A and B are shown apart, each in its own frame.
Chain A
Amino acid sequence: MKRLSKIHRMFKLHRIFIKQDLKRLMEYKIDFLTGALGMLVSQAVELVFLSVIFAQIPSLEGWTFTQILFIYGFALLPKAIDHLFTDNLWMIGYTIIRKGEFDKYLTRPVSSLFAVTVEKFQIDAFGELFVGFVLLGISIPGVSLEISALNILLFIVALFFSTFIYTGVKLITASVAFWTKRSGQIIYMFYMINEFSKYPTTIYNKAVRFIVTYIVPFAFTAFFPASYFIVGGNPWYNIGGTVVMAVLLMSIGIFLWNRGVKAYESAGS
């Protein structure tokens, strides 16, 4: 019962901030459109790139254009959802710790991690979310995807846990800032590895495949779950792996975060 009211309280706080961000969006319509349009253009450019390639070859190592689009679209969804809700972790790496602004989160009777993330609802992410759904919509008729209750459930599970792989990687790298004061560039470097996830990992060499599967496991945010839906595979590995990786990364992330909070030195006088 107490747990339930806690979750209720978290949702309520999220709602307040989301409402505010949407209000702000209305106030700065042009700015929002510029940002969202920018996101759309960047995705469009990459799709043109892919279509130029596929105009010349029938398939990429056995993957058809439509299959690639499905994986690509799937990859965008967890990325967008994480972007939407935990964007403030970037600021932990860039400014919040360095300038001592973390103090205020520690004076609140909620977990500091929640206090940090709830503050920002990053509406730019709607651009990625939109493209992701459009790509899935376009590609689903062209891939052999069985729409069953089980698959829908697995899809939701995969999406949910994939998102936490993103959050976990950001959380671990952002926590480094508690010791180094600044870790934005480290977040950036590891975050960029997600780009590998939008193509089938079979195109990479062994070392890269190992890294994106087991070290910085972004392959579990897109290729493994997505390929399960379109070509089948072992659900325990393709989707179970996503769950395991997400739980693992989040555990390490939360552990480091808590250690970091203890080591936090604030700033200045």
Chain B
Amino acid sequence: MRKILKIYKPFTHAGVLLAAQYRVNFVFFILGDVLRCFINYFLWHAVFKSGGAETFMGFSEIDMVSYIFISFLTTTLAYSDGAYAVGEEIRDGSIAMRMIKPIRFDLAFLFQELGERTMSLLLAFLPLVAGVEIFRFFATGRFAFNLWFFLLYFVSLVLAYLINFYFNVCFGYTAFVLKNLWGANFMKDCIVGFLSGGIIPLAFMPGWLGTALNLLPFASLTYTPVMIYIGKLDGIAILLSFGLQIFWLAFFFVLQQVIWNASVKRMSVQGG
């Protein structure tokens, strides 16, 4: 483990520098995206006002607002560019170069991206969590922040990122077939955004569909951590969802390995 950290530390360092260089752009992009949260905030506010009831399918307005902002935070932090990075390398052929280097290319990407994420963490995490907590404080009149849930959320968030990373690396291999990386990624992001609960809580899905979506890997990306944060899951449910997250992480890790080995074989036979 220590050896791995030593080898890949430079990548993390490079990632931090890269993110630092683009921090102003990042802030503007985040601001642009936060607008969407506010639209949803107002929309849900209107929904609760029009519905007349205290709760909407089990969610109070406060739950819903927390859900909107925390799910945005989660998607932003668990975001991975892996699909694009792998896709670009496949398209320009530089993936072949990865074969002759004595390092694992997935780890190199991973450590670099972890470095880049530190900037998101620094710039987005505190303001958003503080914003949600202040909102909850004023809406309920009491301090709703729960350190225990918060720590569990953080663990779940890290798992979510890792799953997303390996899922994206796997998806990146579609570049062997699809050349329009932008289009393919755009479509993937939309579908994943929906299936992961980034747009509506999966609890709002009708019975069987809700259950199925809960079991799919996408729920682990956004829905699970957010539900932990807002205190919608109890002890056993949290344990179960951690188990599911770990399962999906292992699944995509192995899948990625299998595809990589297969493409190494293919490249060494066909010469790229």
Contacts and interface: CB of A to CB of B under 8 A. Distances in A.
Nearest to B177: A30
B123 interface: no
Interface in A223-268: none
Given A192-B32, A195-B35, A45 B194 contact: yes
B160 to A, nearest CB: 20
B29 A188 contact: yes
A185 B29 contact: yes
B180 A34 contact: yes
> Chain A interface: which size bin?
35 or more
Determine chain A's interface SS by DSSP, over half rule. Answer: helix
A134 interface: no
Nearest to A124: B183
A204 B44 CA distance: 10
Contacts of A59: 50
A242 to B, nearest CB: 21
Given A52-B204, A192-B32, A37 B183 contact: yes
A177 to B, nearest CB: 13
A90 B193 CA distance: 25
A27 B31 CA distance: 38
Nearest to A185: B28
B148 interface: no
A60 interface: yes
B33 interface: yes
A193 interface: yes
A31 interface: yes
Interface string B42-64: 11011101110000110000000
Contact of B46 (A41, A60, A193): A60
B107 interface: no
B125 to A, nearest CB: 20
A188 B32 contact: yes
A31 B47 CA distance: 39
B39 A186 contact: no
A45 B178 CA distance: 22
A47 B190 CA distance: 12
A94 to B, nearest CB: 10
Contacts of A61: 46, 49-50
Interface residues of B, number: 37
B51 A208 contact: no
B271 to A, nearest CB: 25
B47 A38 contact: no
Contact of B42 (A35, A52, A204): A204
B184 interface: yes
A46 B180 CA distance: 23
Interface in B158-193: 178-180, 182-184, 186-187, 190-191, 193
B224 to A, nearest CB: 20
A205 B45 CA distance: 10
A22 interface: no
B261 to A, nearest CB: 27
B184 A48 contact: no
B25 interface: yes
B143 interface: no
Given A41-B191, A52-B204, A193 B35 contact: yes
B195 to A, nearest CB: 9
A189 interface: yes
Interface in A172-197: 184-186, 188-189, 191-193, 195-196
B38 interface: yes
Contacts of A41: 187, 190-191
A30 B178 contact: yes
A34 B183 contact: yes
A111 B33 CA distance: 34
Nearest to B204: A52
B199 interface: yes
Given A35-B182, A61-B50, 14 more contacts: A28-B180, A34-B180, A34-B183, A39-B186, A45-B190, A52-B204, A56-B51, A124-B183, A184-B25, A186-B28, A188-B32, A189-B29, A191-B32, A192-B35
**Nearest 6 pairs of A and B residues by beta carbon:** A31-B180, A185-B28, A35-B183, A34-B183, A38-B187, A203-B46
23 contacts: A31-B183, A34-B178, A34-B180, A34-B183, A38-B190, A45-B193, A52-B204, A52-B205, A56-B47, A56-B56, A57-B47, A58-B50, A60-B43, A60-B47, A124-B183, A185-B25, A185-B28, A188-B28, A189-B28, A189-B35, A192-B32, A192-B33, A199-B39
